[in-house]
Amino acid sequence: MKIDLRLIPVFSLAFMIGYQVDDWLNAPLIKYYPNINAWSWGWVRVPAGHNTIGWFGWIAWGLVAAIVVTALYALVPRRLTERISWSWSWVVPVCTAIFALYIVITGWWLHAPG
């Protein structure tokens, strides 16, 4: 199988952005409940006070976003994408990490109980 190398940066950036946006929206595709070892779809409502892990669901949405965006990018003619330089794209993981810090500060340290 030959990998189209021009798609790789698109997949990576879409994955990290999709993940972080979904974390911000707190809309995981799936949830895990470690105290009862059970899974549910993300939209299932559970009683307050539960111990819920959304991390796997955020990763899942990140992967879905990456696959969709990469598939759409693959449809763009090569002559239009050949001139795009990705050497600036290191800014995206840095910005995503800063945004993650913002989410943690506002979600955990300022507003979480405890």
Partner 1 sequence: MLAQATQSITFVPDLGLGYHVTYSIVVIVHLLLAITLLGAITHQTLAVLWPARPLAPAGAGAATPSLRRGYRGVRVNLYTNAVIVLYLLTALVGTFLYGPYRLTILPFFYGHGLKLFGGIFELKEHFVVIGLALLPVYWLLWKKVPLTEQVAYRAIVTTILAAFVWYSFLVGHVLNNLRGFGT
53 SS3 class: strand
Phi and psi torsions of 95, nearest 5°: -65, -40
The site map against partner 1 for 53-92 (x = CB under 8 A) is x-x--xx--x---x-------------------xx-xx--
Minimum Å gap between C-beta 24 and partner 1 is 11
38 SS3 class: strand
Residues 10-29 that bind partner 1 (CB under 8 A): 11-13, 15-16, 19-20, 23
Which one-letter amino acid corresponds to residue 110?
L
**What sign does the CA torsion over 36, 42, 46, 52 have?**
positive
Q: What does the chain come to in residues?
A: 114
Tell me which residues touch partner 1 (CB under 8 A): 5, 8-9, 11-13, 15-16, 19-20, 23, 32-38, 40, 44, 46-53, 55, 58-59, 62, 66, 86-87, 89-90, 93-94, 96-97, 100-101, 103-105, 107-109, 112-114
